[in-house]
Copies of this chain bind each other. A is one copy, B any other.
Amino acid sequence: MAETDVTQVNAALSNPRADIEALEALERTLFSLGYAIDEIGSLGSVIDPPKATEERGEALAELERARTLALCAPEVAGVLGRLEQCPELLSETQRAQVRVLSRDRDALVGVPADELAAFKRLTVEAEDVWARAKSASDWSSFAPYLDRLVDARRRMAECKDPDRDPYDVWLDDFEHGSDRAFYDTFFSQVKDCVVPLLADCVASRNQPSRACVEGTFDEERQWALARDLVRLEGLDEQALWVGRTEHPFTGGPSTGFVLIASHVYPDNLLSNVFSMLHEGGHALYEQGVDAAYRFTSLKGGTSMGMHEAQSRFFENLIGRSEAFAAPLLETLAKHFPGRLSRVTPRQLYLAENCAEPGLIRTEADELTYPLHIIVRYEIEQLLFSGEATAADVPRLWAEKYDSYLGVRVPDNARGALQDVHWAGGDFGYFPTYALGSAFGAQLKAAMVAQGVDFEGACASGDLAPIRAWLRDRIWRWGRSKDSFELLREACGEVFSARYYTDYLTEKFSAIYRL
Are B4's CB and A69's CB within 8 A? yes
In the complex, which residue of chain B has the Cβ closest to the Cβ of A50? B238
Q: Which residues of B contact A255 (CB under 8 A)?
A: 55
- Give the residue of B51, B256, B294 whose beta carbon is less than 8 angstroms from that of A238: B51
Selecting from A31-39, A352-360, A497-505, the interface stretch reads: A31-39
Would you give the 0/1 interface string for A231-242, flagging 1 where the beta carbon is closer than 8 Å to chain B?
000001111110
Chain A positions 45-100 with a Cβ under 8 Å from a chain B Cβ: 47-56, 58-59, 62-63, 65-66, 69-70, 73
Is A2 an interface residue when CB atoms closer than 8 A count as contact? Answer: yes
Minimum CB–CB distance for A259 against chain B, Å? 9
Is A192 an interface residue when CB atoms closer than 8 A count as contact? Answer: no
Are A256's CB and B52's CB within 8 A? yes
- Give the residue of B2, B4, B31, B253 whose beta carbon is less than 8 angstroms from that of A1: B2
Is A254 an interface residue when CB atoms closer than 8 A count as contact? Answer: yes
Minimum CB–CB distance for A324 against chain B, Å? 26
CA distance A43 to B259 in the complex (A): 13
Are B3's CB and A51's CB within 8 A? no
- Give the residue of B43, B58, B237, B294 whose beta carbon is less than 8 angstroms from that of A49: B237
Is A257 an interface residue when CB atoms closer than 8 A count as contact? Answer: yes
Is A295 an interface residue when CB atoms closer than 8 A count as contact? Answer: yes
| Contact flag A62-B3 (CB < 8 Å), given A47-B241, A257-B56 | no
CA distance A256 to B48 in the complex (A): 9
| Contact flag A295-B257 (CB < 8 Å), given A66-B1, A69-B1 | no
Q: Which residues of B contact A69 (CB under 8 A)?
A: 1, 3-4
Would you give the 0/1 interface string for A422-460, flagging 1 where the beta carbon is closer than 8 Å to chain B?
000000000000000000000000000000000000000
Q: Which residues of B contact A58 (CB under 8 A)?
A: 28, 31-32, 295
CA distance A243 to B240 in the complex (A): 17
Is A418 an interface residue when CB atoms closer than 8 A count as contact? Answer: no
Are B253's CB and A55's CB within 8 A? yes
Is A40 an interface residue when CB atoms closer than 8 A count as contact? Answer: yes
